[in-house]
Amino acid sequence: MVSSYDEGSQTGRRHVTRRRRALVAATTAAVLAGGLLVTPTAQANPATASTTSPSDAGGIRPGTKTPRLLWGSCGATLEQFRCATAEVPTDYDAPRGATTTIALIKLPASGPGRRLGTLFTNPGGPGGSGVEFVTQAEALYTPAVRARYDVLGFDPRGVARSDPATCFPTAEQEAAAPLMQTAYPLTRPEGRKYIADAVSFGRQCTSTSPSRFRHASTANVARDLELLRRAVGDAKLTYAGYSYGTLLGATYAKLFPGRVGRFVLDGTVDPLAWSGTGSGAAAGRVPFGIRSRQGVGASETFTEFGRLCRSAGPAGCSLAALGDPVAVVERTFDRLAVRPVTVATPAGPLVIDQQAAVAITFSALYDPAAWSYLSDLLAALSAPSPDKGRVLGALARTNTVYGEQARGERQPGARRGDDYTSVGGNLASLCVDTKASGRLGAYPAIADAYDRVAPYFGRYRLWTGAVCERWSVQDSDAFTGPWQQTTHAKVLVIGTRFDPATPYRQTRPYAALFPRADVLTVNGYGHTALLKSSCADRAITRYLLTGATAGRSATCRQDTPPFRDGAALRSGSEGVSPRLLGL
């Protein structure tokens, strides 16, 4: 969608634990986790025309076999769900050649009422597990939606259970790689080491799983999605995509404009910035980590975190008792850069330095229900001599990705080692989709400049595309634009005012790519509208059931503002993990 220094750090930080590695696995290469006319035949872009027949539909050649889905049990713990696998062409230019296995899960429509079809979903990332996402469908979609639709999730090619693109022979070797020990570098010497580690890591990925990376473009995921639509028998695709899932939705719409049905596109990624085919801040010469606008989005959302904390006062936000919340946190971040906090856990020592604290904060900004917990953690870390038990307890309650990373079961038949859920799943689509800036050597200087634009978060998010800068494997079937859509279907585009990962400023430009797009604005905070607004849930339900919206520009409120009844929030349910919404 996922840290500390070993050698060469100005603070001599060591004792990297598995829990810290889990955080880095989700943050080192994490992106928008989840941001123009094509010919009437909706082929791939001109750069790939030599490998694509003019008669192809979206790059799927005539005679390509539709997968046969044999739905069966998902196991005793998921009795209401059905699971299957689909075999799709690894290379759509060779549809009768090798195949890739796609893992699927669905929650069958419960009724009453006439079944409307299948709601396909993607939770973002790239690298998010759609199978895991749909296991929480009962919390994610209203009873009315679940009554009329089968809700289907799939792990995209290269991800989790779908022939994962792994970077090392084993998960243990990946976790021990030098790049996985640091969320991002602070100083220029550390930056130079990080660059060397990123290049080495990329080479390791492309030598371990060359074929899986070579065919992992978002365009090929969209082609898989089209075959799955055919397999379930729906005339058009009904789809809900979040964060990176909106890029997948835009790609599908370009390749298969006549097959677009009802599309819910929440937390929009700018496809011109993603591919590096835009202008200005979306141009290819701009590093991907800046093109994504996540540094600025996180900085704006963090400023709101501070403002709302101050308004809530100490009763709702513990940071407010210590002074201006933003100033307190910035002092804490600066101190952690030279004096990290180490706490004991059952898995071993856990070191929280500036990079870890910034990464934790970024992740917690996804979910406003966690902001009271985040304030407790940052308040505990701000003490001259932090209470380590208080720090550990508050950390556990922030409900961030700072914990054990979910690992898929190892599969037989790996290429050069085990199949496992790898950070390669995050890199697979990104590195073959996006244009490298060619400025990797300048990243340390760029980081210093971007830090002045978006303090702390700008430096952190800049480095997310570093591994892709010298990526040696490309997918000739990738689609990189132009992005103006030709579909006649009306789509529903949703943006949250203060979204750290997919900033609201991308919402209307994204919608403008579609001839018919209605925008729903959620006046609230966090990444996507999922689990945040019953008003938005009603709007989505109405659209999916009837195709109707509240108009081209509608608004909804968030149900519970951050820090409202902070004590009650602290004792309440953690809800659905934000890591299911991409990275």
CA distance 294 to 31: 9
Which tokens go with 195? 């660059």
The predicted pLDDT at position 398 comes to 79
The predicted pLDDT at position 11 comes to 29
Three-state secondary-structure class, residue 93: coil
**Per-domain residue ranges of the chain:** 1-583
pTM here is 0.87
CA distance 258 to 240: 17
Q: What is the 3-state secondary structure (H, E, C) of 231-255?
A: HHCCCCEEEEEECHHHHHHHHHHHH
Q: What is the DSSP letter of 61?
A: P
CA distance 88 to 70: 14
Contacts of 394 (CB under 8 A, 6+ apart): 373, 376, 377, 379, 380
Q: Which residues pair with 240 in a beta bridge?
A: 121, 264
Which tokens go with 259? 């097959």
Q: pLDDT 10s digit of each residue in the chain, 583 long?
A: 322 212 222 223 222 233 333 333 333 333 323 322 222 223 333 333 333 333 348 999 999 999 999 999 999 999 999 999 999 999 999 999 999 999 999 999 999 989 999 999 999 999 999 999 999 999 999 999 999 999 999 999 999 999 999 999 999 999 999 999 889 999 999 999 999 999 999 999 999 999 999 999 999 999 999 999 999 999 999 999 999 999 999 999 999 999 999 999 999 999 999 999 999 999 999 999 999 999 999 999 999 999 999 999 999 999 999 999 999 999 999 999 999 999 988 778 889 999 999 999 999 999 999 999 999 999 999 999 999 999 999 988 875 433 333 223 333 333 445 899 999 999 999 999 999 999 999 999 999 999 999 999 999 999 999 999 999 999 999 999 999 999 999 999 999 999 999 999 999 999 999 999 999 999 999 999 999 999 999 999 999 999 999 999 999 999 999 998 543 333 333 333 434 344 3
Find the length of the chain: 583
DSSP secondary structure string, 160-220? TTBS---SSSSHHHHHHSGGGG-SS--SHHHHHHHHHHHHHHHHHHHHHSHHHHHT--HHH
The predicted pLDDT at position 114 comes to 93
The predicted pLDDT at position 399 comes to 54
CA distance 48 to 477: 6
Amino acid at 511: A
The predicted pLDDT at position 417 comes to 57
CA distance 577 to 376: 19
CA distance 362 to 562: 15
CATH class of 1-583: alpha beta
The predicted pLDDT at position 180 comes to 93
371-382 and 388-397 are packed helices; what angle lies between their axes, rounded to 10 degrees?
160
Handedness of CA 492, 497, 500, 504 (dihedral sign): positive
CA distance 397 to 392: 9
Three-state secondary-structure class, residue 159: strand
Amino acid at 88: V
Neighbour tally for 254: CB within 10 Å: 29
CA distance 567 to 165: 43
Amino acid at 576: V
Spatial CA neighbour of 142 closest among 269, 1, 264, 261: 264
CA distance 415 to 273: 33
Classify residue 576 as exposed, middle or buried by CB count within 10 Å of its CB (0-12, 13-18, 19+). Answer: middle
The predicted pLDDT at position 418 comes to 80
